[in-house]
Amino acid sequence: MFLTDTKRIIRSGYRNFVRSGFTSISSILIMTITLFVIISLIFIQTTLHNVLNDIKEKVDVTVYFVPDASEPAILDVKSALAKLPEVKSISYTSSDIALSTFKEKHSNDYSTLQALDELGGNPLGASLNIKAKDPSQYESISKYFENNNVLTQGTLSIIDKVDYHQNKVVIDRLTSIISGAKRLGFAISFVLILISIVITFSTIRLIIYMSREEISVMRLVGAGSKYIRGPFIVSGILVGLVASLVTIILFIPISIWLGNEMTDFIGINLYTYFKSNFLQLFIIILGSGVILGSIASTFAIGRYLRK
């Protein structure tokens, strides 16, 4: 009995979906827009995340040592810094490497190289390049040099300067931009998804409203609520299924285009991202479509079955 009913409900839902033609197409279109918004927001969030990470990577603090600072003393400072919880990585540049990098950089600048030769020896000091786990943590790292007693015992004298204060404005601004952009991104995504869900709900509601006569006829013929509701839910699920397929298919050329044209600009190849996360994205879109379709139908039909 249950099997027969299920079979009949699915068959009836499928027929309604196919025979409604234009109505089905319009609800598929609306649903596609919703799913399109969802997948676009996933792409935008990924891009934003990537761009912000890129920017974060570029922020650092460099500690410059005086030229005659001994290497073991500098390495002591490095290991002391490595113990700080905020520090992500530290790279050590010896004065020799600093010199060769400088020379390489100015290989076409003859007068600078000549001046360097005239100075004799190596005027450049070694440096430690510190990256924090989060941009907001640079301040506490730089304070470490000001406050920490361990460093003052003979080590402070070897530190020439910490460039945090020069970068402070930029770092502070970036920190606030990053956290602001994240929050704004979430807020916009949330609002857009909400709006498109509401639109989908209203569309399906309207379609079921158009069928209210039929629903009342079904009830007069003696059909039970489940038997009336079932086919509408099946149709809703089919709308979600087709819309998610349409969305995914539409996004193949779009992501190829974005991959070709925008990779340099946004720093991530969205086509590669789309390909490598295809299954996950597909499941998200398919799931959203099917759940939206079925829930919207269930809600919309509820009011006509109450009596």
Partner 1 sequence: MIYFNNVTKKYNDSVSLEDVNITIAAGEFVSIVGHSGAGKTTIIKLIMAEESPTIGTVFFESTDIHKLTKRDLLHFRRKVGVVFQDFRLLSNKTAYENIAFAMEATGKNDTEIAEDVPHVLELVDLTSKSLHFPYQLSGGEKQRLAIARAIITQPELIIADEPTGNLDPINTSEVVNILKKINDLGTTIILTTHNRSVIDQIKKRVITLENGRVVRDDKEGKYMI
Q: Under rule CB under 8 A, which residues in 12-51 are in contact with partner 1? A: 12, 15-16, 19-20
Among 8-16, 50-58, 200-208, 264-272, the segment contacting partner 1 (CB under 8 A)? 8-16
- The pair of structure tokens assigned to 184 is 């704004």
Q: Under rule CB under 8 A, which residues in 121-180 are in contact with partner 1? A: none
Q: What is the sign of the dihedral through the CA atoms of 170, 172, 174 and 180?
A: negative
Q: How far is the CB of 303 from partner 1 (least distance, A)?
A: 15
Q: Exposure of 60 by Cβ count < 10 A (0-12 exposed, 13-18 middle, 19+ buried)?
A: buried
For partner 1, give the closer residue by CB, 142 or 235.
235
For partner 1, give the closer residue by CB, 220 or 249.
220
Q: In angstroms, how far is CA 110 from the centroid of its own chain?
A: 47
Q: Match 């361990």 to its residue by tokens.
A: 150
Q: Beta partners for 75?
A: none
Q: How far is the CB of 207 from partner 1 (least distance, A)?
A: 12
For partner 1, give the closer residue by CB, 95 or 235.
235
Contact map string, positions 196 to 225, toward partner 1, x by CB under 8 A:
-----------------xx-xxxxxxxxx-
Residue of 6, 8, 133, 170 that binds partner 1 (CB under 8 A)? 8
Q: How far is the CB of 5 from partner 1 (least distance, A)?
A: 8
For partner 1, give the closer residue by CB, 169 or 221.
221
Within 90-224, residue ranges assigned H as helices are: 95-105, 110-119, 138-147, 149-152, 164-210, 212-220
For partner 1, give the closer residue by CB, 184 or 210.
210
Cα 198 from Cα 20, distance rounded (Å): 22
Residue of 14, 92, 102, 227 that binds partner 1 (CB under 8 A)? 227
Q: Exposure of 229 by Cβ count < 10 A (0-12 exposed, 13-18 middle, 19+ buried)?
A: buried
Give me the DSSP letters along 222-238: T--HHHHHHHHHHHHHH
- The pair of structure tokens assigned to 176 is 């606030």
The footprint of partner 1 (CB under 8 A) covers 1, 4, 8, 12, 15-16, 19-20, 213-214, 216-224, 227
